[in-house]
Structure 1
Amino acid sequence: MNVDPRFNQQTLPPLVVMTDLDGTLLDHHTYSYTPAIPVLARLKAADIPLILNTSKTAAELEIIRKELENSAPYVVENGSAVFIPADYFDGELENTAQKSGYYMHVLGALRSEILELIHKIRIDKKFLFTGFADMEVSEVIAHTGLSETDAILAATREFSEPLIWQDSARQLLNFEALIANHGLRLLKGGRFVHVIGACDKGKCLHWLRERFTNSCGAQPAFVALGDSQNDVAMLNAADTAVIVRSSQHEPPVLEKRSSIIITEEIGPQGWADALTQILDETLS
């Protein structure tokens, strides 16, 4: 298996690519990434880190990263925590804990704290929603299309809780305001609304950009790819933002006004087309 290099003063990468998974690198319905395979090989050959930044759990990403032969840092549960292989950068990393061969930098809240709060609010205010903690594995499968094994991994959350909102839009705004008073945020993803701590995918990009800059002595250019509202902070924080078209919703609106690519194709085909264009321009 090819391994991403250790980054130091001599190894500033030509780019750093950060990507969402569901609906972006992975097809929304089938979770296939077949159209992206040639581009994944090209990134590896050019020693360009591919950082997965997703709503998925660390347990889910362990399987996906092995399949992709990916050993770069990665971000779990919508920016809640960053995991960095212990030997990836020179020196130790501040404000991190060591866990199973990784440095872990937590930006979010613990799931136990989230569940305690939202269950209390649900009873007090009579909100109608169903979270992963309320579901049997069969229900997770029904709502996600995942296999039984993958559904179990998806339920092993540490820093967030996905909800199926079954109440009105007005009640969702009320719920969002109430959890904000306790330092929590609501993010709308492709299938669920996610309750997380005071974090987002963009804060993780900023934090990792600083780690690369400190280790390599210069700041690399970040390309970010995503398809939905929970990717907006990451896309705004990137040097180049790629909005991958979705079959499920309109492209999200960004604050930034330059260096934005909106793909023609959806999902992994759009992902591959955009990165091919960027790599042709960067590596020529």
Structure 2
Amino acid sequence: MSKLVVFSDLDGTLLDHANYSFAPAQPALDALAARGIPLILATSKTAAEVAVLHEALSLGDWPAIVENGAGIYRPGSTAGDAAPYAALRAALDSLPPDLRAPFRGFGDMSDAEVAEITGLSPAAAALARQRQHSEPGLWQESDATQACFITALADRGIACRSGGRFLTLSHGRTKADGLREIAAELGAERTLALGDAPNDTDMLQAADLGVIVRNDHGPGIPPLPGEGQGTIRRTADPGPIGWNTAVLAILNDIKD
């Protein structure tokens, strides 16, 4: 059991937006490991993608929140259920053609296309397309048409959330749901969450302390309740540089 549990988004937060490196955050990562504080990844990435990063970060048996909260990755588990993803694709394909056509999800793309729009290698893009719970994609029409698209999917029980780059469809679970589930499982007394994009907002507000990492490549996160009280703070620097500074400062303040 651990008193403090840290939850972190990846792209643009712990990982550099341009090169996906976490190297600038290594001092804070080492400090967490030295104190035995669980680091729970919370990302839009798939379990297949997270497995690689989880090992690179030496996170042992700690679980991770995947596909924007729609699923939980547990190291060593081979269980996988593609039924939720199949249901998402069926709902998407049931839309009228004028609403369906402007949305290009990862399931509509090849590995090469996903690699091109994300900057991932073809091999990494293939892992990103191994989806079980959610469908990210690009919207290629007006905001007004997008609103109709979102409403039509909501009528079919599908939720839409805007992240740093993509509009993501899911069955409604969020990173905040994953945070609450894992925090209870680990017996957390305090939770710290870090993120940089609108899809992190619920998680930041669900944690005891939230850190908004500066985002220079997307819409970022608007002012949130709690910023005035200090339960939510912002970094001066973007990505893993800001992440590192924030985590070290909080660890200095918190006696675990």
TM category, shorter: over 0.9
Matches within 5 A, 1:135-284: 135-213=109-187, 219-253=188-222, 254-257=224-227, 258=229, 259-283=231-255
Aligned match for 2:92, one of 97, 118, 126: 118
Shift of the 122–50 alpha-carbon distance from structure 1 to 2, 3 Å rule, reads farther
Cα distance, 1:124 vs. partner?
6.1
Moved segments of 4+, more than 2 Å: 83-86, 122-127, 253-258
Contact 1:58/1:76, CA 8 A, preserved across alignment: yes
Per-residue CA deviation, residues 110-149 of structure 1 (Å, 9 max, x unaligned), is 1100011112215264541211111111111110000111
Provide the residue aligned with 2:66 in structure 1: 76
Q: Supply the AA of the counterpart residue of 2:173.
A: C
Q: TM-score, normalised by structure 2?
A: 0.92
Whether the 8 Å contact between 1:122 and 1:128 is mirrored in structure 2 is no
Task: Give, in whole Å, the separation in 1 of the partners of 2:83 and 2:155.
Answer: 14
Instruction: After superposing the two structures, state which structure 1 stretch, 202-211 or 41-50, moved more.
Output: 202-211
Identity %: 38
How far residue 249 of structure 1 moved from its aligned partner, in angstroms, is 2.9
Give the deviation of 1:21 after TM superposition.
0.2
Please tell me whether residue 25 in structure 1 is matched to residue 14 in structure 2.
yes
Structure 1 gaps of 5+ residues are: 1-6, 8-12, 87-98, 214-218
Change (3 A) 1:150 1:179: same
The superposition leaves residues 208-242 of structure 1 with CA deviations (integer Å, 9 ceiling, x where unpaired) of 222223xxxxx420000000000011001000000
Partner secondary structure for residue 211 of structure 2: strand
- Quote how far apart the aligned CAs of 1:84 are: 3.9
Letter in 2 for 1:249: G
Question: Separation in 1 of the partners of 2:225 and 2:241?
Answer: 25
TM-score by length of 1: 0.83
Structure 1, residues 23-56: CA drift from partner, whole Å, max 9, x if none?
Answer: 0000111101111011111100100000001000
Render the CA deviation track for 1:65-98: whole Å, top value 9, x for unaligned: 1111112110110000123458xxxxxxxxxxxx
Contact 2:88 2:170 in 1 (8 A): yes
Structure-1 separation of matches of 2:144 and 2:25: 40
Query: 2:133 is matched by which residue type in structure 1?
Result: F
Q: Are the aligned partners of 2:51 and 2:75 in contact in 1 as well (CA < 8 Å)? A: no
Q: How many pairs does the alignment contain?
A: 252
CA distance in 2, matches of 1:56, 1:237: 20
Cα deviation code 1:223-279 (max 9, x no counterpart): 000000000110010000000001113431334443111000000000001001101
Aligned-pair Cα RMSD in Å = 2.0
Cα distance 1:155–1:133, how it changes in 2: closer, same or farther (>3 A)? same
Aligned amino acid, residue 212 of structure 2 = I
> Is 1:58 matched up with 2:81?
no
Indicate the SS of the match to 1:44: helix
Q: Secondary structure at the match of 1:41?
A: helix
3-state SS of 2:40 partner: strand
